[in-house]
Structure 1
Amino acid sequence: LYMATHQQDLYNRTAAFVEPLDYLVGRFTGRVAASRPSMALSWLTDNRGDDTCSYDPKLVALAGTDPAKLPPLLAAGSVVGTVLAEVAAAMGIASDLPVLTAIPDLHAVTLGSGAIGDYEGHVSISTSAWIGCHAPSKKTSLMKMMATIPAALPGRYVLANNHDTAGVCLEWARGLLVNPTDGLTTPITESYEDLVAVAATAEPGSGGVLFAPWLNGERSPVADANLRGGFHGLSLSTTRADLIRSVLEGVAHNARWLLEESEKFLGSSLGELRGVGGGAQSDLWCQIHADVMNRPIHRIEAPLMATVRGAALFAGVSLGLISTDDIASLVPVERVFRPDPSTRHVYDAMYAEFLKLHKIEAKMYTRLAKLR
């Protein structure tokens, strides 16, 4: 709509508006196509019932979208084409490889977690974060900003919710507390492993410091773009180790909040959770999540590669190379982190305070947003 209004020439020359993943499929095959999962965030398809491979006329009209500018829809898992010869030569791959309709990261990581049964959950500790699982039916909650949307597997749905900031909070803390480039201190290069090792020297509860990880607002289970993060409970005795650990714990408190609201929304417990994402590579962060959420965290092998693995599993199922029942056995669990009962009283008390922060501070951040 922006291009149609302000970049008319470019709009007129546009063949179709596609998601980045469908653009890549087009570059590999020379054919423009999409699927209901890949176009999920366009909100132009009826996400209830079977894959109809068509856009919803009412939603398209309400959005003011020209249907002629939309990519044709194929059933999820369809073969769009084979790799173009010039692409194959440039990448050093076979030119007869089939290229399937693409799936978003949420769909791929849900498969790549190995937890594919209904209500078998996973927690993603990535740049952002979410709680995910497969579900048998369509549900939506505008108040909690979560929904189930068509999954990569036919006839199934996947839970969609999101925290804007998770792993990026640690990146922010590293730049602020350890390696700033503002000229005030001499930069000291520290790896994330070193950072987490320092955090491990602080006691559970971070000396009473509670971190709110809403550095870019929040989406689920509350939609509040004005919400901001902060360290609460600082004192003269607070150390940098306390601050770094509080960041790890604050992300985990946020995950517990989303987990509890997701289970209420779904009307089912998600049980023990698979751990995926770059943050799940950290033993300490996995253990903190297990302790704060009071759930065992089953970290899968190579958790950073969960999305890539899921895309490969999707291709295998779609091409008939493996069955859906094979997926769980193809995703080994590398380690299980079980809740430490000795931390229960500390984390339950801090979580109770964490839940109050949004209600206490929301109006203040709305007022402060007018000053930005």
Structure 2
Amino acid sequence: MIKDCIVAFDSGTQSVKTIIFDKYGNILGEGHAPHTIFINEFRAEQDPNEWWSAFCTSFKIALKNSRIPVERIAAVGLTTQRETMCAVDFEGKPLIPAQVWYDARAIKQVRKIKDEFGSERYMKIAGRMPDTTWWIFKVMWIKDNEKDVFNSTYKFLTVHGFFIYKLTGEFKDSYASPTGILDMTTMNYSTELMKAFDIPREKLCDLVQPGTIIGYVSSEAAKETGLIEGTPVVAGAGDQQAGALGAGVITPNSAYLNLGTSVVLGVVEKYYKYNSNFIVREGCAPNTWNFEALINSGYWMITWFKENFAQTEINAALSLKLHPEVILDLEAEKIPAGSHGLIVQPYWLGVRQPYWDEKAKGSVIGWSSIHTRAHFYRAIIEGLAYEIKLNLELFEETLKNSVDDVVTFGGGAKSSLSCQIIADVLNKPIRLTGTHEATTLGAAILAAFGVKLYSSIEEAVKTMTKISMRFDPKRENVDVYLKLFKVYKRLYPTVRSLMKDL
């Protein structure tokens, strides 16, 4: 039987999603299975065994929905939540719950590296400022606080590395599964950082290049998942890097924009450069680097707004069998560009680049008697667009590169209002991906290349990705937003000192 299909798994923060693609990037079947997050103050944890259970369940659902024989699957592709850490013994069994990427308990460890090693020195090697988010600080926390667990740990794994072990029985990982301990110039573990963090090399996985066969489905994994024993497993990448690939962004003249719970803006370059204006990620293609900006609150802001101000629209949406955002967007479309001078700075969950201030708080200025809930809703979207523009300008200035257009995906990209506002604020065309599952498609692209369905990643991207819509800037709105953006850029530097007293 011809093996011409790819199964790609996306293990996110809340669930595992499995999609079976044909070699042209068309979706044949989907499956989805949730897993639980346990949150307690600064801690956020998950049970890795639940990841695996969801993995197996979602594949069986996807295979059933695809109506294809499993023998047609040529390879397994993977993309996962980034920076989440789990510790396992010699048999790959988790010793403790995994620390999820936004687990923030490693505050002392971050401070120690800043004070004793230096933020600039760390950033030069790892491509990012020290932060509790990064995988390696979670490992350091275990070393400092749970010595018995640290000593008993055979390997510290990323989510991607955990699935590689469960599928193949081998402790290997993709170098594009971020950890914060790599030398970004070599894509291998930094001897200097391993010494600074006091982490033995033997407790870390061997690394391979994304898009290469990392192993084969074992007999045990075949029994549990329903995959065919011996099916190639191809090294994937973190979710945002895979999303860039699935969006077709492989050259510096386009940016990728994931309008998710957090908003991620990125560009792909063929050289390494570090700067506090962005986070550097390992690229999916050889000798490439992804430069990213993360807006913590992102389209979570829309969820926050709905929960606190939009019960009427939620009830109406239920009766009409619509998403509440559809009704909210219709109301916001009646509001002129600029929301009559109302400006939202969306730092509800702090801010990373360029200010790197976890104590930052959001602000809203320009209120007057004319403003309504619809103004506030539109101003939130505009505020996110201003923040995207702020970061994109810093990208272009720092990297000496002009971005021609932006390719967007994620939940927020389903809103035509959001896409048009962003196009108007950026004064750049916004192109919408042809699939709602760009991250999973990115993993499928790497897998298709890995088993030689395509001769290059570029050929796979060209064939498997599509654009569904384009939003061009409206001249009359561009001028309004340019004037307000000048105010936005001055806003946080002006109020920052006040935030510390709140």
What TM-score do the two structures reach when normalised by structure 2? 0.67
Spell out, residue by residue over 1:43-87, the C-alpha distance to the aligned partner (whole angstroms, 9 max, x if none).
3221114x4xx4221111012212221112223333222223343
RMSD: 2.0
Question: 248, 253, 276: which one pairs with 2:409?
Answer: 276
Runs of 4+ in 1 over 4 A off after TM superposition: none
Structure 1 residues 268 and 233: alpha-carbon distance in aligned structure 2, compared to 1, 3 A threshold: same
Give the length in aligned residue pairs: 355
Structure 1 residue runs of 5 or longer lacking an equivalent are 180-184
Q: Secondary structure at the match of 1:238?
A: coil
Q: Which amino acid aligns with 1:82?
A: Y
Counterpart position of 1:182: none
Label 1:300 to 1:187 Cα distance change in 2 as closer, same or farther (>3 A): closer
Other-structure match for 2:424: 291
- 2:232 corresponds to: 98
User: Which residue identity does 1:361 align to in structure 2?
Assistant: V
Residues 115, 328 of structure 1: 8 Å contact kept = no
Q: Give the letter for the 2:206 counterpart.
A: P
Deviation of the 1:187 alpha carbon: 7.5
Identify which of 318, 342, 345 aligns with 1:212: 345
Match of 2:303 among 163, 171, 178: 171
Question: After the TM superposition, which of the residue ranges 355-364 and 231-240 deviates more from structure 2?
Answer: 231-240
1:47 paired residue among 184, 206, 209: 184
Of the three residues 340, 345, 357, the one matched with 2:491 is 357
Question: Aligned AA for 2:223?
Answer: A
Q: Secondary structure at the match of 2:182?
A: coil
Give the strand-richer structure, 1 or 2: 2
Where 1:17 maps in the other structure, the secondary structure is: strand
Q: Does 119-128 or 338-347 show the bigger shift? A: 119-128
Contact 1:199 1:241 in 2 (8 A): yes
Does the alignment pair 1:312 with 2:444? yes
Indicate the residue corresponding to 1:231 in structure 2.
364
Q: Which amino acid aligns with 1:6?
A: N
Paired AA for residue 222 in structure 2: A
Inter-CA distance 308–173: structure 2 relative to 1 (3 Å threshold): same
Question: Do 2:241 and 2:281's aligned partners in 1 also have CA atoms closer than 8 Å?
Answer: no
User: Contact 2:332 / 2:377 at 8 angstroms: preserved in 1?
Assistant: yes
Aligned pair partner of 2:209 in 63, 75, 84: 75
1:12 to 2:151 alignment: yes
Amino acid at match of 1:295: K
The CA distance in 2 between the partners of 1:226 and 1:44, in whole Å, is 25
Shift of the alpha carbon at 1:223?
1.0
| Corresponding residue of 1:31 | 170
Structure 2, gaps ≥5 residues long: 1-139, 318-323
Instruction: Specify whether residues 355 and 17 from structure 1 end up closer, same or farther in structure 2 by C-alpha distance, changes over 3 A only.
Output: same
Deviates most, 266-275 or 124-133: 124-133
Contact 2:210-2:446 within 8 A present in 1 as well: no
Q: 1:353 to 1:83 in 2, by over 3 A?
A: same
1:85 aligned partner, one-letter code: S
CA distance in 2, matches of 1:97, 1:196: 45
Percentage of identical aligned residues:
25
Name the residue aligned to 1:202.
335
Distance in 1 (alpha carbons) for counterparts of 2:501 and 2:410: 35
Please state if 1:154 is matched with 2:293.
no
CA distance in 1, matches of 2:279, 2:143: 30
TM-score (norm. length: structure 1): 0.90
Match of 1:263 in 2: 396
Is the CA contact (8 Å cut-off) linking 2:244 and 2:250 kept in structure 1? Answer: yes
